[in-house]
Chain A
Amino acid sequence: MKLSDQETLELHELLDGLVENNLSSEKRKRLEKWLTDSDEARRQYVAYLDMSASLAHYAEERVSDETTDVLKRRLSTKLVQFVTPWLPLAALVLFGLYVFFGYQAQDPLLLEKELVETEISPVAPGYGLRDEETVAVLTRAVGLSWDRSANFRPSVGASLPASSLKIAQGIAQLELLDGATLILEGPVEYELVHGNAGALRRGKLRAHVPRVAVGFTVGLPMGDVIDLGTEFGIEVHEDHSAELYVYRGKVRYQGVDQAGNYVSEDLVSNQAIYLSADGTSSPLDMPTGIYLGTQDLASRSLEQSQRRRSEWMKFSRQLFSKPSTLLYYGFDNHAKWDRVLKDETKRDDGAGNGAVIGCNWAQGRWPGKGALQFSKSNDRVCLNLPGEFSSVTMVAWVKLGELASPVYPLVFSRPSQKGALGWSVNQAGKLVLQVRVDNKRVINYLSAVALPKEKLGQWVHLATSYDSSEKWVSHYVNGRSFSREKIEVSQPLSFKKGLLGYSQDFPPYKKGTALHGCIDEFAIFDSAWDEGKVRELYEVGTPYELSNSLTSHQP
């Protein structure tokens, strides 16, 4: 039966009230009768409600696109802001080179463009290039161990200010903000001066300098090595003598000898010189040592990470087979299309398996390891863990790129039930545990700032334990106790209707915020772990060099 125009109008009015949830019971009955009696009304109803679902879909798509755009815009703006003050200096350096060395520089405008593009393209939000004092980023390390006298012991991914780096052993790769890449091979002592200059006090360095970073300068005991667009290696021995070898391109050494005479030497591909401690130079057939390049480092780094990964796999196998492990998502061995997140405990025929909604699979802490990326606003994993727990420890390996949203949810359970919990990172970078103790009251346990800017974009190990017998909530970051708070009201915790990476209504946070980050390990244990156990979990699982980097982080 075809509906008349008047009936269609009335039907749409009812449907409008239905989707806005303000339909009186009388009108609802009228709609029900219509849906039962009229095939045409039913078809219109289905099309209308389907349109409502499609609108929700397009709205979420728009939010997701805008979030991506905002992140890109923020990052670009910050990088341009960072790079802009350096442009006049870069132009000055180029002009100086042109005048003094007759170097045929490119159009400065073109170089400025290249400079900006080069900085923006390889963006590593993770490396937190926000601080205007940053001159370089420590991008890779193998077997790195800091010297005992080193005050500054950054981790991989850290932004580096002008500072002194003292490496006892191992290899570190630095990417300078002006474009040069350095491989430092311990024992080595290198002074970061600014984005395009430094000083090698002792040890070995290999530099790859793209054209955009022409003018990169390395200070030596008796002079300077000025790069003119090339790749070269330098070794400074204990007695302050040095060797300089040019792989390709052109390099100028200029300095003074002990008698005060000016020494200047231009070297091209495959040429090497020996610089004695008193500053005199002499040709050298071949350098005495081998300088490791970025590819060598990459392959060593891969070997090392595979070794670490297999250690972690061994450890986690032991962990998830223990009865005390309530839930364990290793995020490993999943296909890209998998929509089931396997609970490795395999309890009750996989009752703990999570349902992946929307998230994409991504690379985890090691090459080949899986992670879930929560990037769209509806992304989440539904998990099921029945029961109530008087004490628990929750741990997760997480990577966040930004702290722009009020909440970065790790796990939330259904908010209305007593014992419901929300575990998240807030906009200030604090770990937050929220526990509902009755119908009206939610208690918040906040850590100190756990995720400062420099940790963004890196894998971070977060853990929070809830100990009802000792009445403490403890927060841990990268295996270290971060803060502890007294439990106000003991309340067994419930993970019913849990959502990983998606917020629920826990004031001040609202339902519906996705993590906008990655998780590649998540576990819940049925007791409150102490620092020793959390630390062990972190140490086995960290993809980064442990070395002695957990002491001071100040330059």
Chain B
Amino acid sequence: MMKYQRRLFAYIHTLVPSRSDAEDILQEASLTICEKFSDFESGTNFYSWACQIAYWKVRSARKKYATSKVVFNEEVLEVISQTRVEMEEELDHRHGALSKCLQKLNERDRRMVLTRYESGQNVKAAAHASGRTVQGAYKALTRIRKVLFDCVSLELTTQKA
């Protein structure tokens, strides 16, 4: 299951943009997956099966916590989930391309964006790590995410070509 954990987290995070909420749901889903593992039919796709469990965890979290854990309504969740499933292969490529694009950033920007994404860290920590003000860090993060997104898209286009 370990090799699927990153992908499963990414799946949940797509449905639940708050990282800590997504982590909580990942934990719940992981437990259920372990408990119900005997129900999994070998030969079928484990990741799809795990995503189904995760999807229901997201839905039940929505009911349980109203909107605090999940931003979107069920209709939106459904279409996002479908789109995600369709894009799985592309997303795998994007994950690999992101690693290359991170290397293209200058050291200061790379340190800042990775600090921001460490577990339990926030923009303030990222600002501190890069010697920026918090306001400056917000702006810089917006810029860096845009740069990375475009870089990854370009990498994929180049790979296809």
Contacts and interface: CB of A to CB of B under 8 A. Distances in A.
A326 to B, nearest CB: 17
Interface size class of A (residues with CB under 8 A): 35 or more
A35 B145 contact: no
Contacts of B2: 337, 339, 356, 358
Nearest to A511: B120
B44 interface: no
A60 interface: yes
B10 A55 contact: no
A386 interface: no
Contacts of A340: 34, 37
Contacts of A48: 145, 149
A39 interface: yes
Nearest to A35: B76
Contact of A49 (B13, B31, B142): B13
Contacts of B33: 355
A357 B145 contact: no
A10 to B, nearest CB: 13
A282 interface: no
A350 B27 CA distance: 17
B80 A35 contact: yes
B64 interface: no
B34 A58 contact: no
A313 interface: no
B126 to A, nearest CB: 10
Contacts of B90: 47
A45 B22 CA distance: 16
Contacts of A510: 120
Contacts of B99: 58
Given A12-B146, A47-B94, A58-B117, A42 B79 contact: yes
A62 B91 contact: no
B3 to A, nearest CB: 9
A53 B10 contact: yes
Contact of A377 (B22, B83, B119, B145): B119
Interface residues of B, number: 56
B98 interface: yes
Contacts of A57: 6, 9-10, 95
Contact of A32 (B1, B76, B120, B152): B76
B73 interface: yes
B154 to A, nearest CB: 13
A334 interface: no
Interface in B98-122: 98-99, 102, 113-120
Given A42-B83, A511-B120, A47 B149 contact: yes
Interface centre among B22, B84, B99, B141 (most CB of A within 10 A): B84
A47 B10 CA distance: 10
B23 to A, nearest CB: 9
Interface centre among A45, A46, A60, A355 (most CB of B within 10 A): A46
B17 to A, nearest CB: 5
A16 interface: yes
Give the dominant DSSP class at B's interface: helix
B14 A51 contact: no
A39 B94 contact: no
A36 interface: yes
A47 B91 contact: yes
B108 to A, nearest CB: 15
Interface in B117-161: 117-120, 123, 138, 141-142, 145-146, 148-149, 152-153
A59 interface: yes
A340 B30 CA distance: 10
B37 A50 contact: no
A358 B5 contact: yes
Interface in A1-27: 12-13, 16, 18-21
B87 A47 contact: yes
Contacts of A51: 94, 98, 145, 148-149, 152
Interface centre among A19, A21, A51 (most CB of B within 10 A): A51
A118 interface: no
B39 interface: no
A273 B71 CA distance: 86
Interface in B57-72: 71-72
Contacts of A382: 27, 30-31
Given A12-B149, A50-B10, A53-B13, A32 B119 contact: no
Interface string A349-379: 0110111111000000000000000000110
Given A16-B145, A21-B18, A56-B19, A357 B118 contact: no
Nearest to A18: B17
B75 interface: yes
Given A46-B91, A353-B35, 13 more contacts: A16-B141, A16-B145, A19-B145, A35-B80, A36-B75, A46-B14, A48-B145, A49-B13, A50-B13, A57-B9, A59-B114, A340-B37, A350-B35
Interface of A: 12-13, 16, 18-21, 28, 32, 35-36, 39, 42-43, 45-60, 62-63, 337, 339-340, 350-351, 353-358, 377-378, 382, 384, 497, 499, 510-512
20 contacts: A32-B76, A36-B75, A47-B91, A47-B152, A50-B13, A50-B94, A55-B114, A56-B117, A58-B99, A58-B102, A58-B114, A59-B118, A63-B118, A340-B37, A354-B34, A357-B27, A378-B119, A497-B27, A511-B119, A512-B120
